[in-house]
Amino acid sequence: MEVYDFGLRLKELREAKKLSQTEVATRLNVVPSTISGYESNTITPSLEQFTRMAILYNTSLDYMMGLDNRVCFYLDGLTKDQQQTILDIVNRLKEAFLQSE
């Protein structure tokens, strides 16, 4: 069984967004050393900060906490037709990958 590393997950999410610790700190209204503490597992974020990071990183709290290892993305800001088009594309890709295995 693999050990879950919360700080590593936060670092990966931050880097995927191409943000520095300083940029994240500014957006969360904390000092950069706080973000460093989160990523090194020496400081535990408050529920409010967890929520703000989930919004910033466009992910779920379950993913951040390691309860769910599926990467998720949100389609907020898109029309229902645009959302359906994206879901159709994802389903076609899944089918194509399954057929190629």
Q: How many CA atoms lie within 13 A of 36 on its CB side?
A: 4
d(CA 93, CA 80): 20
Tell whether 66 and 84 lie within a shared domain.
Answer: no
Same domain, 100 and 82: yes
State the greatest distance between any 2 C-alpha atoms of the chain, in Å, as a whole number. Answer: 49
Residues 49 and 5 in one domain: yes
Which two structure tokens, joined as six digits, stand for 83? 């959302």
Where does the pLDDT of residue 88 fall: very low under 50, low under 70, confident under 90, or very high at 90 and above? confident
Q: Are residues 66 and 94 in the same domain?
A: no
Chain segment 7-63, per-residue pLDDT in tens:
999 999 999 999 999 999 999 999 999 999 999 999 999 999 999 999 999 888 888
The domain of 100 spans: 75-101
Per-residue pLDDT for 1 more than 50? no
- Give the residue, 70 or 13, on which the prediction is more confident: 13
* Residue 44 and residue 18 share a domain: yes
Per-residue confidence at 70, pLDDT binned at 50, 70, 90?
A: low
State whether 51 and 66 are in the same domain. yes
Number of domain units in the chain: 2
